[in-house]
Structure 1
Amino acid sequence: MVKFLRTVGNRGDCQVVISSDSNIMFINSILQKHKLEKCVSTIYSNPVERDPQNNGRLVYQPHHKSHPCHTCPKNMCKREVLRKLLDTQTTKGITYDRIFVVGDGENDHCQCVLLRSQDYIMPRVGFPLHDIVSEMKKVKNSPSPGVLPWIDGDQTLSLALNAINETAGSI
């Protein structure tokens, strides 16, 4: 995924946003290790701090104190994260031609309900999101986003770039 983040994050016409149920410190350490900090525009995750009163012990906080979703864990709803991002960008006059949701977990599905027919879900093969999306594809009662299953970072990059270039040529 390093090559994916570096390539897409440096394109200039794409914005990489990480929405993770992990924690900010862990994600930042990975980005720093691979020198990817400038490739990611925003990270939504659980805050964590070292507690000086407790020998520097890590103290985790939930990203959301509460949210209305009954599907996601209490600490984060990715649909709420995406909705807030889109609302914030819209107030700035920024809209997205396409949104790509790359994920593997069950909680990655929640944000997918906000996707449009020109958007893409990129589920990792053999993981819960792929199973959920495979079941969703069987129900054809409304327009749905494209689905680009992937196995590794190189395939993710190839699929995403093909979709970006294909749709850019048709606009």
Structure 2
Amino acid sequence: MLICTGQDATEQTKMTAPQEPRFLVLFDFDETMINTNSDEAVLCAMPDQELPDWLKNSFREGHYNEYMQKVLAYMREQNVSEESIRSAIVAFQPTPGLLNLLQYLQSHQQDFELVVVSDANMYFIEKWLERAGVRHLFRKIFTNPASFDETGRLALLPFHAHSCSRCPDNMCKQAILREYLMSRQKERGGVAFQRVFYVGDGANDICPSLALGPRDSAFPRRDFPMHRLLLGMQQSQAVTVKANIVPWTSGEDIMDCLKNITNKR
């Protein structure tokens, strides 16, 4: 009988320990995973599907979370039920090729760790991912807390406070990304991800993209704000973008790029 002791036992533990994913993929939600803006699309659950002008005019730049708190409170005043809101959410269509991309990532879970970073809210994202059958693929969801209270209102809160001048007052995605990378590296025994991939579409996806290194990739949805802003930065050279920029139209575009990288050991 073979008995492992000392260094031999340590080596055996290393050999049998599960392999940590080599790559991290972060997804925005609105107009990245789903082919719409969830905050706007959920209004179809209202009887007249329209907000009054006084509510629309209450929006302040950089305070979108505060505005959505008012919108959700108004929806409750209009007697929009949780069931109606949930029905609207699960009807959101995925972006073209998104489910094919997730199927590929599921078949390569040993290589990819998946995370959602979104300025939507937890209720919308959880319900949609569950309906799509892909919630189990995501290790973490970073988004604004939201749950139904005793009055039947979907109560929304800001994600965190921060000091970044580029981002809305309730969320800096770069701060989230940096903190996650540090915590995961510690949990992984000091081993960092080999590459980081960020998939997005909006202006608030620029800030985390600027934290990526030369081995990483930013995937902006083609002809959406993130894409246009990154192109402008490259042309003006006002801000250095270290990451590779890979515009995408469908999930298959992202999948093809990831396949090439995965195959390179």
Give the alignment's TM-score, normalised by structure 2: 0.58
Q: Deviations over 1:103-128 (max 9, x none)?
A: 00000010112111000010000101
Cα 1:43–1:141 change in 2 (3 A) is: closer
1:82 alignment partner in structure 2? 177
| 1:36 maps to 2:134 | yes
| 1:19 maps to 2:117 | yes
2:159 alignment partner in structure 1? 63
* Aligned-CA RMSD value: 1.8
**Residue pair 1:6, 1:39 contacting (<8 A) in 2 also:** no
**Residue pair 1:46, 1:60 contacting (<8 A) in 2 also:** yes
Map 1:1-16 onto structure 2 (within 5 A): 1-11=98-108, 12-16=110-114
2:146 to 42, 48, 71: 48
Where 2:142 maps in the other structure, the secondary structure is strand
Distance 1:140 1:70 in 2: 16
Distance 1:153 1:33 in 2: 19
Distance 1:136 1:143 in 2: 7
2:229 alignment partner in structure 1? 132
Gaps of 5+ in 2: 1-97
Where 1:41 maps in the other structure, the secondary structure is strand
Q: Which amino acid aligns with 2:159?
A: H
Give the alignment's TM-score, normalised by structure 1: 0.89
Gaps of 5+ in 1: none
| 1:95 maps to 2:209 | no
Where 1:136 maps in the other structure, the secondary structure is helix
Where 1:15 maps in the other structure, the secondary structure is strand
Identity of aligned residues (%): 32
Cα 1:158–1:57 change in 2 (3 A) is: same
Distance 1:61 1:141 in 2: 32
Distance 1:129 1:88 in 2: 27
- Shift of residue 13, structure 1, vs aligned partner: 1.1
Q: Which amino acid aligns with 2:199?
A: V
Structure possessing the higher relative contact order (Cα contacts under 8 Å, 6 or more residues apart): 2
**Residue pair 1:10, 1:39 contacting (<8 A) in 2 also:** no
Q: Which amino acid aligns with 1:57?
A: R
Distance 1:140 1:158 in 2: 31
2:24 alignment partner in structure 1? none
